[in-house]
Copies of this chain bind each other. A is one copy, B any other.
């Protein structure tokens, strides 16, 4: 049975997160419903690179599944899109080897978190950015971001609601981009714990607003306690940007 890798973009606004669950609209639920229709009722199990929470978006979520159908590779995007709602867009579908796994084969992931500062809310981006009325201290933010790069135990930046025991992750890149009127926090790492990016952003925003010193980041990491870090930033600013299998 051919194994396929699909890259999906989705608007997380109207989903109760990625993972399938009864009586809730989820990305995985919509995806498996669409695949069942293409496969004439047969249930096709899908595997994603990881979950995303309610309200969190994706530009490049990756899933894999095995198909029993003989559809040529270039036709898969259109075939899937025909059965999917307009808040899930299939970016690309490719044939992969049988040992490819969307989660276990991933080498790194990139997340981005978009913020607009200033007095006014942009009504057209309210579901894809977070509005921060205060101006931010960019120098302090960049200093805080620098201190989380590398291999660390990220227990302090992980929701207490997790089953994962091993909380050491490597952050390869953590930087602040400025695009037009947006501040974009960009994180590249070998893995991310539950709510990790949102707690990092929430804490570093407190640094940017002068509520914490950037030097505190190291103490927070060392504390290995969720209490040591700041708030969890809201979901709508977050995008699972890309998953790499290099």
Give chain A's interface residues, CB within 8 Å of chain B: 9-11, 57, 86-89, 91, 120-124, 126, 128
Contact = CB atoms under 8 A, between A and B. Distances in A.
B57 A87 contact: no
Nearest to A92: B120
A73 B237 CA distance: 33
A124 B120 contact: no
Contacts of A10: 123
Nearest to A124: B128
A124 B91 contact: no
Quick one: copies of this chain in the complex?
A: 2
Contacts of A122: 9, 89
A86 B11 contact: no
A139 B238 CA distance: 39
21 contacts: A9-B122, A9-B123, A9-B124, A10-B123, A11-B123, A11-B124, A11-B126, A57-B123, A57-B124, A86-B121, A86-B123, A86-B126, A87-B123, A87-B126, A88-B123, A89-B120, A89-B121, A89-B122, A89-B123, A91-B120, A124-B128
A179 B10 CA distance: 23
A9 B125 CA distance: 12
A124 B120 CA distance: 20
Given A88-B123, A89-B121, A91-B120, 9 more contacts: A9-B122, A9-B123, A10-B123, A11-B124, A11-B126, A86-B123, A89-B120, A89-B123, A124-B128
A86 B123 CA distance: 8
Nearest to A10: B123
A94 B191 CA distance: 51
A11 B57 CA distance: 19
Nearest to A127: B124
Nearest to A57: B124
A140 B151 CA distance: 56
Contacts of A88: 123
A2 to B, nearest CB: 23
A75 to B, nearest CB: 14
Contacts of A124: 9, 11, 57, 128
